[in-house]
């Protein structure tokens, strides 16, 4: 079975950085044999993916809290017996 990869449409953005940050980014990108654009793109993709994963985990946690959990305890008394003096 072959899977066709559909290219996601890309859009350019403009980003303003200090000259020293750009120079350091050039060195970092060169060390990784990539471009500054690819370096930034990969990092933003990673951040967005982490945020999506966090949101999904939070939804699952809230769903578990709504459902509740049985903690194993059993009590055989009623409210009146507890407050009886």
Domain ranges of the chain: 31-67
d(C-alpha 67, C-alpha 59), whole Å? 12
CB contact at 8 A, 22 and 36 = yes
Q: Count CA atoms closer than 13 A to 61's CA, side-chain side.
A: 6
Average pLDDT of the chain to the nearest whole number = 88
Instruction: Say which DSSP state 14 is in.
Output: -
pLDDT tens per residue, range 76-85: 778 887 787 6
Could you count the other beta carbons within 10 Å of the beta carbon of residue 29?
Answer: 16
pLDDT at 4: 58
What is the reported pTM? 0.62
Mean pLDDT calculated for residue range 39-64: 95
d(C-alpha 51, C-alpha 66), whole Å? 23
Using CA atoms, how far residue 76 sits from 71, 72, 82, in Å, is 16, 13, 11
């Amino acid at each position: 079975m072959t899977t066709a990869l559909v290219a996601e449409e890309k859009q350019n953005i403009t980003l303003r950085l200090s000259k020293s940050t750009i120079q350091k980014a050039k060195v970092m990108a060169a060390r990784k044999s990539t471009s500054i654009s690819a370096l930034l793109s990969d990092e933003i993709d990673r951040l967005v993916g982490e945020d999506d994963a966090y949101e999904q985990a939070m939804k699952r946690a809230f769903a578990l809290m709504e459902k509740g959990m049985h903690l194993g305890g059993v009590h055989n008394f009623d409210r009146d017996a507890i407050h009886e003096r």
